[in-house]
Structures are given as C-alpha cells and as structure tokens.
Amino acid sequence: MKTLITIAAIICTAITAQSKVITDSIKSNILSATVKINIYLPAEFDSNPTKQYPVLYLLHGLTDTYAAWVEKGHLDQVADEMIQKGEIPPMIIIMPNAGGPNTRRTWNGYFNMDGWAYSDFFYNELMPTLEKRYRIIGDKANRSVSGLSMGGGGCTVYAQHHTDLFSSCYAMSAWLTSNDTALDTNNLQTYVTKAVHENDAIKYVNNASRDEIEKLKTVRWFIDIGDDDFLFDQDIQFYQAMKAKRIPCELRVRNGGHTWEYWNTALRTSLPFAAQSFKKN
C-alpha cells in the first residue's frame, strides 16, 4: 500500500508541477534605476531545491520590454513543450528590461552610453545577482545569450567582447551596425543608434586580431534572418565577415520579415542551439 501511495504521489507531483515566469527586479546603482526582469523557471525548479541550471539570456528589441518574449513570443509555452519532449534540458531563461516603447523618452539599448551604462549594469549587477539568486551554474559552458533586433545586436556584441562568458550566441534579425551618429538630447533613440555605430559587430570581425579571432572561435554562432527583413543585408555581411575570418557561424535565411511570427518560430531552433552548446561544453 505504501508503495502505491508513493507512486501516486510521484505521479501527482509530475502532473501538477508547472513551469513559471516570475517578474523580479534589481535596484541598479549603476543606472540609478530599478530594472525589471522576467525569469522562466522550469517545472522541476521548486522540487529540486539544490539543483543548479544552465542559463540563457534572452534580449528584447527596440520598442519592446522584458515582457515581450512571453507576451508576444510565447517563450514559456515553447520552452515547456520542448522540455517535456526532451528536445532541450531544463534551463533558466532570463529576459531583462533594456528599454520601452517610447523610444524618444525612454533609455533603450544594451551598450554603455552617456547616461545609460547598461553593459556595466549587465555584467556587474544583473548577472552576478541573478545567477546567485536562481541557482545558476554560472560558467561559460552553461551560459548562452540570444536576442532579436536590438537584442540580436546586443547579444552578438556581448559574445564578441566576452568570449569567456558565453558558450553560444543566437542572433535573430540582428541590428548589427548603424551609420547614424547624430545626437539629440530631446530624443533618446539617437543615443541608441550612435551606440550601435560605436559597437559595430561587423567592423569588429573585420578588424579582429589573430588572438581575437581565436577567442571568437570558442563561441558557437548562429544568424537567423528573414528574407523580407529590412536588416537582411547587414546580417549577411556579418556572416560573410565571419566566413572570411574562418570563424564557424551558422546562417539560416527563412521566409519572413521583422515580425513576432518569425521570432516565435525561431525559438524552436534557438533553444536547442543553446542546449547543444551546454552539452558540447
């Protein structure tokens, strides 16, 4: 009888256990602001209180917020399905805020700029705080970064400049370069475009030293771009630059544009890509 009760309890736990997306926040001294973060926790997180997990940092685009990947991209549903099918292992997915829809009046962007030192915040406050708080393994082999549009460029530059921290980078419809350097203090979006220009991901590859090239080879790279996307040309230029330097990089060109329909389907490739990186390392 005890055996039957135990089995029933296990089955009941398996049925009732659910993943969850929680909204956390960090009071940043660097940004002088409170930053919200959505965090996807797999269904087993609470039932395995000592287990540590690999982590994917998933970055949103310009005009969106930390909530977009769940509200528009249905990240939680896709991750649940793929974990249940055994296509990816349980992992933690962190979706930090780096902007908002009013791009003229709201700071946006993942780079350091006058008045918005977001990169410093990301590495010195966000990562160490959350990786401790949510039992994240916290090494290169178990850490990946991905994003779309502005976040696609952000994740690419993060992985370029911190090859020691990330095992893979999956950039969707990535905003990688900009020729706009004009600043208008009444329009904060101009700071973003200038920062993208200063952190040109294509130029970084073209100008990479031999040592930098070898470091870039320690990260697994993937570019995913729609054939109707207005950022198509620069994403292809990035891929060509990587190929010229003999840095392995996956490229997928699929039917579609700069849309949430495209990015939702991209998750079904990007999540396994991150998982394979965890296994590989």
d(CA 115, CA 191) in angstroms, rounded, equals: 9
CB 40 within 8 A of CB 95: yes
Cβ-proximal residues to 117 (8 Å cutoff; 6+ apart), any chain: 30, 31
Nearest to 95 by CA among 142, 134, 44: 134
Residue 281 is predicted with a pLDDT of: 58
Phi, psi of 171 (to 5 degrees): -105, 120
pLDDT for the residue 271: 98
Task: Write down the residue that tokens 């697994």 correspond to.
Answer: 220
Kindly give the confidence (pLDDT) of every residue in the chain, 281 residues in length, as a single tens digit, with 9 standing for 90 and above.
445 444 444 444 444 579 999 999 999 999 999 999 999 999 999 999 999 999 999 999 999 999 999 999 999 999 999 999 999 999 999 999 999 999 999 999 999 999 999 999 999 999 999 999 999 999 999 999 999 999 999 999 999 999 999 999 999 999 999 999 999 999 999 999 999 999 999 999 999 999 999 999 999 999 999 999 999 999 999 999 999 999 999 999 999 999 999 999 999 999 999 999 997 65
Encoded tokens for 238: 């990035």
- Please report the pLDDT score of residue 12 as a whole number: 45
Position 41, amino acid: L
Whole-number pLDDT of residue 279: 76
Q: Could you tell me the pTM of the whole model?
A: 0.93
* Bridge pairing between strands 33-41 and 20-28: antiparallel
Give the model's pLDDT for residue 51.
97
- Neighbour count for residue 243 (Cβ, 10 Å): 13
CA–CA separation, 117 vs 35, rounded Å? 13
The Cα–Cα gap between 202 and 26 comes to: 32
| CA angle, 65 then 67 then 277, to 5° | 95
Within 10 angstroms of residue 265's Cβ, the number of other Cβ atoms is 16
